[in-house]
């Protein structure tokens, strides 16, 4: 089905270094790539700084999209209440790791804020769920995502040309808080964080209008959820997805394996929508530093023993 995007769309070509770098690393003609590579990760890191991203205070581009349950949603029709627009991918660990926080946010704010998920390109295509070549395949993944994750709010489907995603700047795992007047109040470029909760609270305290809200633009990568609970994302793609993820982000599989093993302890720290208490934050920093020192000492001890063995 044809996607309709109205209002501000993709900005005209820019000569900025960040924009040119993004387009070189992630060419528009290969948007629905078959293999995830390190260049895609680098492009995403740079994309949040590019000059074509819709930033807080600007009008949110209007769109009309089909949903996984057959609904048709137009952003303009939702004017009068805030909207939480979340870009998701069926095989993305950041998406998978954000499901629990999104459910909590919806439990708190679903009666006052309209939640919308939008399925974008396949983050980690594989032999089971590959790069999108037809709109029907994308719609099928949206239906599976909504069913498997128990999503009760609309899961919409962007077209193969990523018209809506591009209109908002092309970010792959972004969340946009749009105020009741249709302006972007907050943007989280890389996953969910407590900064989003603060922005929602501030916006609702003003009656749902007024941009920006909270920090306005959170450009930091929030990967804790992906490490602890995101393994199921690339697993949906298959073995190729896992291999490509490790090639594109060396060490990702080790991190996610350790995160999965440590989930009972780590989940309360990273799968949350509120800031950590100061004492907990301090204890966490001290604990991580202690683990790093212990790991360094262990490596040094092993190295010394190896050297002594060679000396003999």
pLDDT per position as a tens digit, 16-73: 777 888 889 999 999 999 999 999 999 988 887 655 678 899 999 999 999 999 999 9
**Residues 236 and 310 occupy one common structural domain:** no
What is the distance of C-alpha 77 from the center of its chain?
Answer: 25
The pLDDT of residue 278 is 60
What does pLDDT average to over the chain? 88
Q: What is the span of the domain harbouring residue 306? A: 285-312
Task: Say how far apart CA 204 and CA 210 lie, in whole Å.
Answer: 9
The pLDDT of residue 264 is 94
The pLDDT of residue 45 is 86
Report, as an integer, the average pLDDT of 175-201.
95
Examine residue 300 and state whether it is found in any structural domain, yes or no. yes
**Residues 183 and 311 occupy one common structural domain:** no
231-243: burial string, b at 16+ Cβ within 10 Å, e else? bbbbbbbbebbbb
**Residues 270 and 289 occupy one common structural domain:** no
pLDDT above 80: residue 186: yes
Report, as an integer, the average pLDDT of 162-170.
93
The pLDDT of residue 2 is 45
Q: How confident is the model at residue 7 (pLDDT cuts 50, 70, 90)?
A: very low
**Residues 298 and 159 occupy one common structural domain:** no
Examine residue 179 and state whether it is found in any structural domain, yes or no. yes
pLDDT 10s digits, 48-58: 765 567 889 99
What are the two backbone dihedrals, phi and then psi, of residue 127, each rounded to the nearest 5 degrees? Answer: -75, -20
**Residues 211 and 306 occupy one common structural domain:** no
Between residues 292 and 45, the one the model is more confident about: 45
**Residues 179 and 292 occupy one common structural domain:** no
The pLDDT of residue 282 is 53
Examine residue 59 and state whether it is found in any structural domain, yes or no. yes
Give how far Cα 91 sits from Cα of 130, 135, 226, Å.
9, 17, 11
**Residues 220 and 295 occupy one common structural domain:** no
**Structural domain total, the chain:** 2
The pLDDT of residue 304 is 78
**Residues 25 and 173 occupy one common structural domain:** yes
Beta strands in the chain (DSSP E): 4-6, 62-67, 72-74, 83-88, 114-119, 155-157, 175-178, 184-190, 217-221
CATH number at residue 49: 3.40.30.10
Selection from 33, 26, 36 nearest residue 244 by Cα:
36
The pLDDT of residue 48 is 72
The pLDDT of residue 236 is 97
List 183's β-bridge partners, or say none: 59
Examine residue 185 and state whether it is found in any structural domain, yes or no. yes
Selection from 167, 140, 151, 150 nearest residue 52 by Cα:
167
Examine residue 280 and state whether it is found in any structural domain, yes or no. no
Task: Say how far apart CA 224 and CA 220 lie, in whole Å.
Answer: 12
Examine residue 266 and state whether it is found in any structural domain, yes or no. yes
Report, as an integer, the average pLDDT of 160-170.
93
Examine residue 94 and state whether it is found in any structural domain, yes or no. yes
**Residues 264 and 296 occupy one common structural domain:** no
pLDDT above 80: residue 171: yes
pLDDT above 70: residue 296: no
**Residues 78 and 223 occupy one common structural domain:** yes
**Residues 306 and 206 occupy one common structural domain:** no
**Residues 71 and 201 occupy one common structural domain:** yes
């Amino acid at each position: 089905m044809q996607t309709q995007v109205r209002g501000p769309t993709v900005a005209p070509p820019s000569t900025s270094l960040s924009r040119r770098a993004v387009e070189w690393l992630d060419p528009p003609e290969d948007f629905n790539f078959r293999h995830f590579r390190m260049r895609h990760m680098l492009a995403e890191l740079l994309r949040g700084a590019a000059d074509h991203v819709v930033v807080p205070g600007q009008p949110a581009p209007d769109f009309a999209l089909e949903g996984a349950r057959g609904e048709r949603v137009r952003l303009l029709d939702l004017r009068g209440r805030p909207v939480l627009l979340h870009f998701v991918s069926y095989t993305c660990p950041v998406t998978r790791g954000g499901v629990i926080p999104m459910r909590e946010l919806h439990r708190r704010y679903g009666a006052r804020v309209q939640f919308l998920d939008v399925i974008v390109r396949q983050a980690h295509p594989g032999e089971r769920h590959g790069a999108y070549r037809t709109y029907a395949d994308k719609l099928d993944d949206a239906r599976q995502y909504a069913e498997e994750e128990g999503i009760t709010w609309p899961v919409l489907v962007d077209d193969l040309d990523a018209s809506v995603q591009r209109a908002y700047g092309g970010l792959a795992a972004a969340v946009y808080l749009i105020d009741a007047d249709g302006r972007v109040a907050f943007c989280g470029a890389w996953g969910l964080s407590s900064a989003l909760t603060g922005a929602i609270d501030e916006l609702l305290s003003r009656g749902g209008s007024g941009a920006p809200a909270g920090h306005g633009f959170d450009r930091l990568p929030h990967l804790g959820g992906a490490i602890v609970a995101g393994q199921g994302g690339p697993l949906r793609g298959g073995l190729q997805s896992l291999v490509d993820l490790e090639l594109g982000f060396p060490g990702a599989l080790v991190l996610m394996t350790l995160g999965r093993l440590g989930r009972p302890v780590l989940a309360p720290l990273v799968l949350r929508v509120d800031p950590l208490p100061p004492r907990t934050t301090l204890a966490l920093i001290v604990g991580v530093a202690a683990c790093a020192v212990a790991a360094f000492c262990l490596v040094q001890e092993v190295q010394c023993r190896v050297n002594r063995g060679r000396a003999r």
